[in-house]
Amino acid sequence: MAKAPAPFECSYTPNFPELLMQLDISLAVSTYQAGKVVFLSALNENQLIQLPRNFNFAMALGVNGSRLAVATRDEVVILGNDPSLAANYPGQMNTYDNIYVPRATYHCGRLNIHGFHWDKTGLLAVNTQFSCLSYIDEDYSFKPIWKPPFITELAPEDRCHLNGMAIKNDKPEYVTSLGHTDTPTGWRGTRPFGGLLMHVDSSEIILEKLGMPHTPKFLNGELYALLSATGELIKIDPERGTYDVVVQLDGFVRGMCLVEDYLFVGLSRVRQNHPTEHLLPIAEKAKIAGIAAVHLPTGTVHARLNYRASVEEIFDVEALQGLKRPGILNTGNKHYRLSLNAPGLSWWGRPEEKED
């Protein structure tokens, strides 16, 4: 009888570790189904190493300098990276070159956050539950700044499944949603081809009848997005309201980040027991979750990682630039409370002694 795969066991093309080394990055991957943020790093040119950490219903990731934002079911956790803490991490000495530790938690409630962007004001989020763009804030659950004009009121009803924002000149230029609907979860009745791309300032609908668009982004000055229903990466011409398919991938595509010429795209399995997902055009091909590294200039898959266990969907993918072997702690880790730092200084505290 075949041996069951180990937790988070994966296979990958031989050039996947080599590519991470070549680009001098590690990858941060979120998966709400497994409730994890996973760091992927190259141990050497032939081997990858993974570091999964528990984050309840982990969704959107946001990287800004040494900060990493993680959207969870009810909170937004902000972690800070301090390389000076890494070498003496008491849990595993001389292992990590950098280490992320929790520094702030926003108890925002269930916002179903699908994307982040740090700007001069703060941390901007795609607030899917309330069908708006909003700032994460310490005084409120959120501060809304924009909603589609067809959304008549803010309500925790996920009316159109607003799920992505493309940032240009440090502000949201375009957004994607899965529907043009103004009723509680009304978008479910129009999928898989009720998606749209909208210009934020003018509220003009640029494209509609899209196959579950996700993760719109400007890459090298040009607009791209993922069509999850068909597994396609598309390049969009907003002036003409048209798009071209760059590559079709064997998965429900969501989450991507560009490093030099390589676009890392998250691939999810289609849930066969879901009432409608098994009917998606990509359903027969979307059998394995993982990450595809697409060479963007040629639109070809250069490298791939496939999960054999534990991970059935990928929500977001971010690159950690210049980090060869980063560590990450969550608030459940017994050591995180001992991590102390100040500008230019850091310490690991001692565990408190029991009282007499």
Q: Tell me: the pLDDT tens digits for 99-111? A: 999 999 999 999 9
Is the pLDDT confidence value at 356 over 60? no
CA 314 to chain centre: 8
Percent of the chain with pLDDT over 70: 96
pLDDT of the residue at 1: 62
Q: In terms of pLDDT, which residue wins out, 280 or 301? A: 301
Q: What is the mean pLDDT of residues 306-332?
A: 96
pLDDT of the residue at 205: 98
Give CA separation, 287 vs 169, 228, 283, 307, in Å. 38, 14, 8, 10
Tokens 């408190």 correspond to 352
Is the pLDDT confidence value at 330 over 50? yes
Q: What is the mean pLDDT of residues 141-169?
A: 98
Is the pLDDT confidence value at 256 over 70? yes
Q: How confident is the model at residue 338 (pLDDT cuts 50, 70, 90)?
A: very high
Is the pLDDT confidence value at 117 over 60? yes
pLDDT in tens, 43-82: 999 999 999 999 999 999 999 999 999 999 999 999 999 9
C-alpha 242/C-alpha 263 separation (Å) is 21
Give me the DSSP letters along 282-331.
TTTT----EEEEEETTTTEEEEEEEE-SS-S---EEEEEET-SSEEE--T
Give CA separation, 151 vs 136, 146, 225, 344, in Å. 21, 10, 23, 47
Q: What is the mean pLDDT of residues 116-131?
A: 97
DSSP 157: S
Written as six digits, the tokens of 143 are 């501060």
CA 180 to chain centre: 24
pLDDT of the residue at 350: 84
Task: Name residues whose C-beta falls within 8 Å of residue 160's C-beta, 6 or more positions apart in sequence.
Answer: 131, 148, 150, 151, 177, 178, 179, 180, 181, 182, 186, 187
Is the pLDDT confidence value at 276 over 70? no
C-alpha 211/C-alpha 197 separation (Å) is 11
Q: In terms of pLDDT, which residue wins out, 3 or 341? A: 341
pLDDT of the residue at 275: 57
Q: How confident is the model at residue 271 (pLDDT cuts 50, 70, 90)?
A: confident
Q: In terms of pLDDT, which residue wins out, 175 or 1? A: 175
Q: What is the mean pLDDT of residues 158-184?
A: 98
DSSP 18: H
Nearest CA among 104, 31, 120, 100 for reference residue 320: 100
Q: What is the average pLDDT score of the chain?
A: 95
- Which CATH superfamily does the domain covering 10-340 fall into? TolB, C-terminal domain (2.120.10.30)
Is the pLDDT confidence value at 355 over 60? no
Q: Locate the domains of the chain by residue range.
A: 10-340
